[in-house]
Structure 1
């Protein structure tokens, strides 16, 4: 890993903004951009490999036996060199999954206030269709996970045809191959470049490995492909959006993943666990001590087969030489490492006994405070990226006559933490608040109420159907008031 954060290294691409504004993109500069981006690419790949528990990404899985444990004479090899356990503890992956389950376990809600402005109903319907068409909850969760692993993720907005109709879709892009050129934040870049390995098959069926490059500005996308003489432009399209369609989702200001600050602690935990396991296993290879008793190699082999041995003499003794393992020290060391990892990664062990039982909401908030602080930062960063995403979407939908370009300001994003809910405690609190605060505020405190306005409407309907606002049974029967009761009796 580089000493500098990804943020600092990504900011070195800022001077290219003026170059692209004056000269657009040139094929002869692409190789230079990819070369300068290599350190970021490699670091993101390593973090992804660690999350996936790849042998190339986890140091303990590549550990070899200590060469000092081997003697020149092969028969004098040390016993503990025969055991080299490599135990990987995927703590970094657990921290990522814990945060994403807490932060995005409940899908983000996308709400358009169409009730206040009826003209926005078409946009509200399109947002709901967009959410379903793109399986947005899954894409948001995947983007959130990738953001927490690498420190940032990437997303592309694009036009496509579905049932002979133009629609807008989104796709998550692998972040290691994305370069963002921005002034302030990669969630609203001026330009963006994506590169990735691919294969070209010619007319004879021969395969050739190439690098595909897509460069985006606020109007066009340029497609390049590596060849024998460098990168060559082979296509240019209008993407139809008012802005760069490829943008980033940041995890924090430094663009750091969940595990970047505790990688050394994780490696120390892996080494301790591996060494302790090797010590336990090496007891099976303990040295046999013979006191006042000589045995040749044939007798030793027979001893292993039969498991029995006859001995004579007062001082004759036989036993195994084993190491004394200080299991208390090992356990304390592992506990301290684990506590420090949770502390510095701002994560929570929900399997801890402290979370057992029906604890109060206040107690739950105190126990998850560090995780909540990290989630709040991620929420602000993701909200910024989603706002830019809908700015792009509304610019495209405006061309289809669905809304106005500025209507992205009318889209609201709702984040809701995924925690066990103490419904009894919440209901008791809201009962005590009735009459002391507005109904809107009181309902907003209930974790199971997603849409306060919709809930208020349902409460009004219930009041008319079952409550104090129940309409009279003879309402609407004005014609019956003119009927003479005597005429009714005569009939």
Structure 2
């Protein structure tokens, strides 16, 4: 659901170098992949490194190929991270395993081939902490669909059985009662599609299983509703979801969903603050920006939900002079950088003030 994440300094603090580093690599794409990975697996990992141009960059790691080790204190501080990847040869067989161990000051690379472990290189870094970030989906580190796996399996089984029943209906057995029916009669029936000389006490019918589609459909809808209820995901295809409901009524229907998303944002924000701190440490070491505490920066989330910009514009007009312009403009769904929009508006206003008025033009 996260479509845009913006970092906003709480005071007049310059964080543009970090934002520029984010823009150069389109960090939004990575944020979406990290959010999707944590929603599926319960956790996702980000690795921050310096590229050939000595610029900080981020990459997503496979959650099955990284181990983040923490100490046993109450704060569970990061000690080091172990990352590994399998290297295959031309025959697509395992050649060796490359292991990287990153701690707070250096990154050491090892080569594991068979039972032989050799050190390849060691490189220092200036991120100030272990450059691996763990994003949790929730406290239990569970994916969004894990609580409803059994219901999803039941739904799939029910739908599969319905399709099988339809297929078996086509291959139903034709039964004859009170009459003889030999191979010649079967050939005539197949060729002419006609059955003749049926005795008065005889009967011909298909042997099929009686399908109660009404009960099956009720069960399907019940399972579907339970899936949405337990996973706290609204059923957008439900005819009763919107109907003639007001905006407030729809928000009440979305309340469990919003609470779940807020919880996910809370855990995701922790990772974003770790990322900012690592980027800030790197850029501060290279004298590109000053040290900025993470308490002076806030992460703002925008979600991919329908919005009424007309009502938002009325709210902005009512709060004009009470709330700062940047905060108000940021409420509009089509605005990506509120600070830039406010600066452009100020420049336009200054240009208008320098232009002659209509009365001045008439006097000339």
Query: What TM-score, normalized to structure 2?
Result: 0.86
Secondary structure of the structure 1 residue equivalent to 2:147: coil
The corresponding residue for 1:108 is 5
Q: SS where residue 261 of structure 1 aligns?
A: helix
The 3 A distance-change label for structure 1 pair 198 and 441 is closer
- Contact 1:361/1:422, CA 8 A, preserved across alignment: no
- CA deviations 1:308-357 (Å, max 9, x no partner) are 12124322321112111111111111111111111111111223234557
Tell me which protein shows more helix as a share of its residues: 1
- 1:197 corresponds to which residue? 86
Task: Give the match's secondary structure for 2:181.
Answer: coil
Equivalent of residue 35 in structure 2, options 125, 140, 144: 144
Shift of the alpha carbon at 1:442? 8.1
Give yes or no for contact 2:316–2:329 (8 Å, CA) kept in 1: no
SS in 2 for 1:252: coil
Matched, 1:391 2:277: yes
Seen in structure 2, the aligned counterparts of structure 1 residues 170 and 186 have a Cα distance that, compared at 3 Å, is farther
Q: Deviation string for 1:371-409 (max 9, x for gaps)?
A: 111111111111111111121111111222102344555
Kept in 2, the 8 Å contact 1:108–1:416? The answer is yes
1:136-184 CA distance string (max 9 Å, x none): 11111011100100001011000111xxx31111100011121111248
- For residue 218 of structure 1, the aligned residue among 104, 125, 137 is 104
1:413 pairs with one of 299, 304, 311: 299
Give the counterpart of 1:254 among 136, 140, 156: 140
Residues 269-348 of structure 1 correspond to what in structure 2 (within 5 A)?
269-348=155-234
How many Å apart are 1:367 and its aligned residue?
Answer: 2.1
Equivalent residues, number: 355
| Contact 2:96–2:112 under 8 Å retained in 1 | yes
> Tell me, which stretches of 5 or more residues in structure 1 are unaligned?
1-101, 475-491
Moved over 6 A (4+): 184-188
Pick aligned residue for 2:332 from 444, 447, 450: 447
2:21 is aligned to 130
Partner of 1:67: none
The answer to which structure has the higher strand fraction is 2
Contact 1:187–1:250 under 8 Å retained in 2? no
Give yes or no for the alignment of 1:171 onto 2:53.
no
Structure 2: unaligned runs, 5 residues or longer = 358-364
Contact 2:6 2:299 in 1 (8 A): yes
Mapping of 1:11-50 within 5 angstroms? none
Contact preservation (8 Å) 1:153, 1:175:
yes
- Contact 2:18 / 2:279 at 8 angstroms: preserved in 1? no
Counterpart of 2:362?
none
Q: CA deviation at 1:471?
A: 6.6
